[in-house]
Structure 1
Amino acid sequence: MDLIKAIIIAIIEGLTEYLPISSTAHMGFAANLMGLEETEFLKMFQVSIQFGAILSVVVAYGKKFFDFSNLQFYYKLAFAVMPALIIGFFLDDVIESVLGNQIAISSVLVLGGVVLLFADSWFKNPVIHDEKEITIKKAVTIGFWQCLAMMPGTSRSAASIIGGMAQGLSRKAAAEFSFFLAVPTMLAVTLYSVFVKTWGKETLHPQKGYEMILESQDHITIFIVGNIVAFVVAWIAIKSFISLLNKYGFKPWGWYRIVVGIALLVYFYWFK
């Protein structure tokens, strides 16, 4: 993977991480369409550039993340992230095995799109409009909803936002809490993928993520530039998404997922 292709993947990560359209699916499709070999470094890179996207939320909502007088905020995130950490740890190998199955991911993209078409009509009367009104119990429930995104193609953002709306949150409050919850969730996933997970266990040379990054100057450059690009693009996407969601709801995203998913199903079924 050269630097230009890495930047393209990072742009896609930044654009799609906080939108309800699945960043994992889009990065996988892009890598496939660009003819990239599905190496362990590519898979690790697609996970690790989430670090840049994490920083964009912290910067965009700096007052919230650095308001140490509001300890309830941190408690909610700590409890809400626990389901994903526990379930994700045990399902890591299963999740990785699905990442290369583009037919399955495309199908999930379509099914998720159908759900989004009806999401606005299902949750019409929100009662919670601010993060401070979210109880720890509701935060944990949203955390379990987020676990649905362990199936590639689902979208962590879509699962947690719909989970929030199911708990009575307004679209804006649900989207913002989804952003907040992404920080500990993706930070844990990134740290695990870089420092803990052993990639290529079935190969002759299994490596930790950081070992793959440090094995060449090209890998170091790709990792650093990828995270910077993901940060900048995600920051722009975050600023735009809330207003678009309030104005148009979920239907445009639902139709987008359905059209793209069907197109990709045709492509991967007939031409690959």
Structure 2
Amino acid sequence: MNFIEAIILAIIEGITEYLPISSTGHMIIGSSLMGISELDFTKVFEVNIQFGAILSVVVLYWKRFFQSFEFYKKLLAAFIPAAVIGFVLNDLIDQLLESVAVVAIMLVLGGIILVFIDKYFEKKATKEDITYVDAVKIGLFQCIAMIPGVSRSAATIIGGMFQGLSRKESAEFSFFLAVPTMFAASGYKLLKAFKAGTLTFSTNELQLLAIGNIVAFIIAMAAIKFFISYLQKYGFKVFGYYRIVVGLIILGLLAAGYDLRVI
């Protein structure tokens, strides 16, 4: 991996992590198109730069993260389902991450849902506070996003709206929930690599990780601000159409015989 490829992947991570279009799916597709998806360092890089994206939420919403102990208890309640299921199904999830076809299919299916989801919630009453039961249910929705291409952001935002939360409250809670979820998932994968003896970096790779986290942090901050504003005004439909188009293009390339993992 060179610096240009690292910056491209970091931009993809920063843009897509908090938008309902699947960051994992886009990074799998991006690394495949650049021909670096099979490199061990690429897989570690894609996990590591999530820390930059996590930090963007903490910086933007730092007051909320220090508001009360109740806030952390609700985040923990929402985090537990993914922690348990992710640990139990870790090997299966890793296998799914190798499949560009799974990503493409889930992009299309998720896109169809996003196209129609605004109309479903059009006349639903909304509330501004999250109960512990709401938090656990949103956490269960988050588990669906363990399938690459689903989008953790989309799953948790829709999960929040099903609990009666407004778009804004659902999106912000989704951002907050990303912090413990992504930190745990990334930390666990890095720990596995460390135990396997594959977590060793050259000076060049350390520089790539540093620039990747910086770029992901900056881009994610901009993406979050854009998304909250756009979502309140226009809803999910444009993201749904985008997902469908990208998913169909990938499926078309696969049907034409392209092996996107080795391009």
Q: Shared fold (TM-score greater than 0.5)?
A: yes
- Contact kept in structure 2, 1:128 and 1:134, CA below 8 Å: no
Displacement of 1:128 after TM fit? 4.0
Q: 2:37 & 2:29 partners in 1: Cα distance?
A: 12
Q: 2:219 & 2:37 partners in 1: Cα distance?
A: 25
Q: Percent identity?
A: 54
Q: Which of residues 147, 168, 172 in structure 2 aligns to 1:172?
A: 168
Corresponding residue number in structure 1 for 2:76:
78
Q: 1:257 & 1:241 partners in 2: Cα distance?
A: 16
What is the SS of the residue equivalent to 2:150?
Answer: coil
- Contact kept in structure 1, 2:82 and 2:142, CA below 8 Å: yes
User: What does 1:42-191 correspond to in 2, within 5 Å?
Assistant: 42-67=42-67, 70-130=68-128, 133-191=129-187
What is the SS of the residue equivalent to 2:145?
Answer: helix
User: What does 1:29-40 correspond to in 2, within 5 Å?
Assistant: 29-40=29-40
Corresponding residue number in structure 2 for 1:197:
192
Q: 1:125 & 1:65 partners in 2: Cα distance?
A: 31
Unaligned runs of 5+ in 2: none
Corresponding residue number in structure 1 for 2:41:
41
- Contact kept in structure 2, 1:129 and 1:172, CA below 8 Å: no
TM-score for the superposition, normalised by structure 2: 0.94
- Contact kept in structure 2, 1:110 and 1:258, CA below 8 Å: yes
- Contact kept in structure 2, 1:60 and 1:235, CA below 8 Å: yes
Displacement of 1:160 after TM fit? 0.2
Q: Which of residues 201, 225, 232 in structure 2 aligns to 1:239?
A: 225
Q: Which of residues 250, 254, 257 in structure 1 aligns to 2:236?
A: 250
- Contact kept in structure 2, 1:126 and 1:170, CA below 8 Å: no
What is the SS of the residue equivalent to 1:163?
Answer: helix
Q: 1:121 & 1:47 partners in 2: Cα distance?
A: 35
- Contact kept in structure 1, 2:37 and 2:43, CA below 8 Å: no
Change (3 A) 1:72 1:34: same
Unaligned runs of 5+ in 1: none
Q: 1:99 & 1:106 partners in 2: Cα distance?
A: 12
What is the SS of the residue equivalent to 1:198?
Answer: helix
Q: 2:149 & 2:140 partners in 1: Cα distance?
A: 17
Displacement of 1:39 after TM fit? 2.0
1:226 aligns to 2:222 (yes or no):
no
Change (3 A) 1:55 1:267: same
Which residue type is aligned with residue 161 of structure 2? M
CA-atom RMSD in angstroms = 1.5
- Contact kept in structure 1, 2:110 and 2:240, CA below 8 Å: yes
Q: 1:228 & 1:207 partners in 2: Cα distance?
A: 26
TM-score for the superposition, normalised by structure 1: 0.91
What is the SS of the residue equivalent to 1:150?
Answer: coil
Q: 2:202 & 2:75 partners in 1: Cα distance?
A: 36
Q: After the TM superposition, which parts of structure 1 deviate over 2 Å for at least 4 consecutive aligned residues?
A: 124-130
Displacement of 1:102 after TM fit? 0.8
Q: 1:94 & 1:269 partners in 2: Cα distance?
A: 24
Q: 1:142 & 1:263 partners in 2: Cα distance?
A: 31
Which residue type is aligned with residue 107 of structure 1? I
Corresponding residue number in structure 2 for 1:19:
19
Q: 2:37 & 2:150 partners in 1: Cα distance?
A: 23
- Contact kept in structure 2, 1:123 and 1:168, CA below 8 Å: no
Deviations 1:78-110 (A, max 9, x none): 111011111111111111111121112101110
Change (3 A) 1:37 1:146: closer
Corresponding residue number in structure 1 for 2:197:
207
Q: 1:38 & 1:88 partners in 2: Cα distance?
A: 23
Q: 2:126 & 2:105 partners in 1: Cα distance?
A: 33
- Contact kept in structure 2, 1:126 and 1:169, CA below 8 Å: no
- Contact kept in structure 2, 1:47 and 1:193, CA below 8 Å: yes
Q: 2:134 & 2:235 partners in 1: Cα distance?
A: 22
Aligned residues, how many?
Answer: 258
